[in-house]
């Protein structure tokens, strides 16, 4: 405990005792992590207003204490709530959760960083039913702003979360408040025109530590006239996978697919629909090809699976479906099953028919149950269904309600290198990853996330037993090797875990210096989140 008691007293007085936590056990519980290595701060503060945020920063400046800011800290397996150093203050903005404005005609909301996907979604259903919010595939309780500033991704046409931010209100290290956009202070286009006047500064506050974003405009998608959903199973041989990726890009590039699907390999899909088959592993760290085949068969899972939303007018959707089907039928099975989530009698009948048909085709009930949240996710309905996969290995079963993998001691870690959207690059990324998984004794988990018509994010992950020091070390070593392998190959990760953030620019020294200079110009005492994304730790 190294915080000045004066600071603790000031914070307790300013925020109230419930919102300034100093007891080590309580602090540990509040900042627990799924990552293999993480540090504990000296205290956690949860301001409720802009003025309280300024009070925290004023106290931090006065006592020269670093402040690690998080929104809700739910980006499990990436940064979470952990700073790359021990001690200091963690400032969590979850109590700043006001939805300040929703403009249904112009399709945006102005919100605070504590607002979650579920909250925004529920609000829209009541107050602006013609708008959809995108949602991360992880948890419905993640912060909309936090995810966007960490460059997280969704699945609808508005999947680019940082791209959908427009107009930030930021508290600087010196306590001053600034609005980006460059207009006059009464700028009526603050949340409408992205690039603003003069240099575009919003980008400075993504994956960085140059200010505390306390308010942001978020663009929302118009509900389309018609929505449908395709479930796809890849059944062609592995040799045709690169050609499949090329055709996939073509559909995205031509705007025939407007959503941003995630292609899951067999292991990734099985994490979602079942528990780890420790019996099949037979005491080995990883499953043999035969064991994988048996497990796959049991649940009716293909080598690759993905879901995909289709959006537009009635006529456009019909045409897109025809085009999508024609392309993908060459590589597997396409099923348009958006009606599965329909209300009423016909919906029930449809579900019964799908269920019966799929069971007949050897699909497990668990696989069929995963359809509902998938169809919803592609129309922006947040869910915890997929995040539950992190309980699949070291727990007997997945939770049925609220999840909190950090609290529950789930150990896992993600790395998502960006690769060009080509068949060769997708194949090369997998070839790079497989030996690293094998070296460290983990099964190969891959999701290929469509970032844009030009780039894929190859998401890899491992699950380890957080209670075991050996397993944590193995997870950390896997991450380090993956990171090196992909950086060597020129594929930078789209976001990195807290531990690697201080070294984020070690391979681009001039850029690192540019970021350092800007940091110094705006936060000369290095109060705000020192070490986040390439800026100097203390």
* 169-188: contacts with its own copies (CB under 8 A): 172, 176-188
Q: Which one among 504, 527, 528, 529 touches its own copies, defined by CB under 8 A?
A: 504
Does the protein bind its own copies through residue 17 (CB under 8 A)? no
d(CA 473, CA 469) in angstroms, rounded, equals 6
Which residues in 446-475 contact its own copies (CB under 8 A)? Answer: 451-455
Copy the structure tokens of residue 460.
């890899």
Q: Which one among 99, 210, 273, 381 touches its own copies, defined by CB under 8 A?
A: 210
d(CA 241, CA 111) in angstroms, rounded, equals 42
Does the protein bind its own copies through residue 397 (CB under 8 A)? no
d(CA 293, CA 78) in angstroms, rounded, equals 30
Q: Which residues contact 3 (CB under 8 A, 6 or more apart)?
A: 22, 42, 43, 63, 65, 87, 89
Nearer to its own copies, 276 or 311 (CB): 311
Does the protein bind its own copies through residue 518 (CB under 8 A)? yes
d(CA 2, CA 41) in angstroms, rounded, equals 10
Is residue 248 a contact partner of residue 334, using CB atoms and an 8 Å limit? no
Q: How far is the CB of 420 from its own copies (least distance, A)?
A: 6
Q: Which one among 20, 70, 496, 527 touches its own copies, defined by CB under 8 A?
A: 496
Nearer to its own copies, 188 or 345 (CB): 188
Phi, psi of 477 (to 5 degrees): -65, -40
d(CA 166, CA 159) in angstroms, rounded, equals 15
Nearer to its own copies, 144 or 287 (CB): 144
Helix 50-63 vs helix 5-15: crossing angle, to nearest 10: 170
DSSP labels for 19-37? GEE--HHHHHHHT--SSSS
Distance from the first to the final alpha carbon of the chain: 18
Q: Which residues contact 174 (CB under 8 A, 6 or more apart)?
A: 61
Q: How far is the CB of 248 from its own copies (least distance, A)?
A: 12
Does the protein bind its own copies through residue 483 (CB under 8 A)? no
Q: Which one among 491, 526, 529, 530 touches its own copies, defined by CB under 8 A?
A: 491
Scanning 27-35, 65-73, 355-363, 418-426 for contacts with its own copies by CB under 8 A, the matching segment is: 418-426
Is residue 203 a contact partner of residue 163, using CB atoms and an 8 Å limit? no
Does the protein bind its own copies through residue 347 (CB under 8 A)? no
Nearer to its own copies, 331 or 533 (CB): 533
Which residues in 77-116 contact its own copies (CB under 8 A)? Answer: 105-108
Does the protein bind its own copies through residue 510 (CB under 8 A)? yes
Scanning 139-147, 200-208, 340-348, 374-382 for contacts with its own copies by CB under 8 A, the matching segment is: 200-208
Does the protein bind its own copies through residue 346 (CB under 8 A)? no
Does the protein bind its own copies through residue 23 (CB under 8 A)? no
d(CA 204, CA 208) in angstroms, rounded, equals 7
The 10 Å Cβ neighbour count of residue 163 is 13
Alpha helices, H only, 441-508: 469-488
Nearer to its own copies, 136 or 191 (CB): 191
Which residues in 249-278 contact its own copies (CB under 8 A)? Answer: 249, 253-256, 258
Does the protein bind its own copies through residue 378 (CB under 8 A)? no
Q: Which one among 119, 447, 505, 526 touches its own copies, defined by CB under 8 A?
A: 505
Copy the structure tokens of residue 367.
């696989």
Total site size for its own copies, rule CB under 8 A = 99
Q: Which one among 24, 129, 198, 536 touches its own copies, defined by CB under 8 A?
A: 198
The 10 Å Cβ neighbour count of residue 300 is 18
Which residues in 134-153 contact its own copies (CB under 8 A)? Answer: 151
Nearer to its own copies, 93 or 164 (CB): 164
The 10 Å Cβ neighbour count of residue 61 is 16
Does the protein bind its own copies through residue 3 (CB under 8 A)? no
Scanning 37-45, 47-55, 316-324, 432-440 for contacts with its own copies by CB under 8 A, the matching segment is: 316-324
Q: Which one among 315, 347, 362, 365 touches its own copies, defined by CB under 8 A?
A: 315
d(CA 19, CA 153) in angstroms, rounded, equals 30
Which residues in 40-79 contact its own copies (CB under 8 A)? Answer: none
3-state secondary structure of 226: strand
Residue 45 pairs in a beta bridge with: 20, 91
Nearer to its own copies, 320 or 383 (CB): 320
Count of residues making up the chain: 538
d(CA 360, CA 277) in angstroms, rounded, equals 23
Q: Which one among 5, 343, 400, 521 touches its own copies, defined by CB under 8 A?
A: 521
Q: Which one among 278, 319, 330, 434 touches its own copies, defined by CB under 8 A?
A: 319
d(CA 517, CA 521) in angstroms, rounded, equals 6
């Amino acid at each position: 405990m190294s915080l000045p008691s004066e600071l603790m007293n000031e914070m307790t007085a300013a925020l109230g005792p419930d919102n300034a936590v100093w007891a080590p056990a309580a602090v540990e519980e509040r900042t627990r992590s799924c990552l293999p290595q993480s540090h504990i701060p000296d205290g956690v503060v949860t301001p409720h207003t802009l003025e309280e945020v300024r009070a925290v920063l004023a106290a931090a400046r006065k006592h020269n204490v670093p402040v690690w800011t998080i929104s809700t800290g739910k980006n499990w397996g990436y940064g979470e709530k952990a700073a790359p150093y021990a001690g200091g203050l963690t400032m969590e903005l979850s109590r700043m959760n006001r939805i300040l404005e929703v403009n249904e005609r112009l399709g945006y909301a102005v919100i605070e960083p504590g607002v979650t996907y579920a909250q925004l979604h529920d609000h829209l259903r009541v107050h602006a039913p013609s708008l959809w919010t995108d949602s991360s595939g992880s948890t419905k309780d993640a912060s909309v702003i936090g995810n966007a500033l960490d460059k997280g991704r969704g699945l609808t046409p508005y999947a680019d979360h940082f791209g959908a931010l427009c107009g930030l209100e930021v508290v600087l290290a010196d306590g001053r408040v600034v609005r980006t956009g460059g207009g006059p202070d009464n700028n009526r286009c603050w949340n409408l025109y992205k690039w603003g006047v003069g240099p575009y500064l919003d980008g400075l506050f993504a994956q960085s530590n140059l200010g505390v974003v306390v308010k942001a405009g978020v663009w929302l998608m118009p509900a389309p006239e018609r929505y449908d959903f395709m479930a796809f199973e890849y059944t062609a041989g592995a040799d045709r996978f690169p050609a499949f990726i090329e055709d996939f890009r073509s559909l995205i590039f031509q705007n025939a697919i407007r959503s941003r699907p995630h292609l899951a390999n067999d292991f990734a899909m099985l994490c979602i629909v079942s528990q780890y088959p420790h019996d099949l592993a037979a005491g080995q760290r990883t499953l043999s090809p035969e064991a994988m085949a048996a497990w796959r068969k049991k649940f009716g899972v293909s080598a690759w699976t993905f879901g995909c939303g289709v959006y537009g007018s009635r006529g456009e959707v019909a045409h897109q479906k025809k085009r999508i089907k024609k392309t993908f039928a060459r590589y597997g099975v396409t099923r348009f099953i958006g009606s599965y989530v329909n209300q009423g009698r016909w919906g029930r009948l449809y579900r019964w028919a799908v269920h019966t048909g799929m069971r007949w085709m050897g699909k497990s009930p668990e696989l069929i149950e995963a359809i509902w949240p998938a169809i919803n996710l592609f129309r922006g309905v947040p869910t915890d269904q997929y995040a539950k996969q992190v309980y699949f290995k070291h727990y007997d079963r997945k939770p049925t309600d609220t999840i909190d993998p950090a609290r529950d001691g789930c150990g896992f870690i993600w790395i998502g290198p960006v690769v060009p959207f080509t068949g060769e690059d997708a194949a090369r990324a997998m070839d790079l990853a497989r030996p690293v998984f094998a070296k460290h004794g983990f099964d190969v988990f891959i999701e290929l996330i469509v970032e844009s018509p030009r780039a894929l994010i190859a998401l890899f992950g491992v699950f380890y037993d957080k209670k075991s020091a050996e397993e944590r070390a193995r997870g950390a070593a896997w991450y380090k090797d993956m990171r090196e392998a992909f950086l060597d190959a020129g594929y930078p990760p789209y976001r990195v875990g807290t531990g690697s953030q201080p070294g984020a620019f070690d391979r681009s020294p001039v850029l690192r210096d540019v970021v350092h200079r800007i940091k110094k110009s705006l936060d000369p005492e290095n109060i705000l989140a020192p070490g986040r994304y390439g800026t100097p730790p203390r």
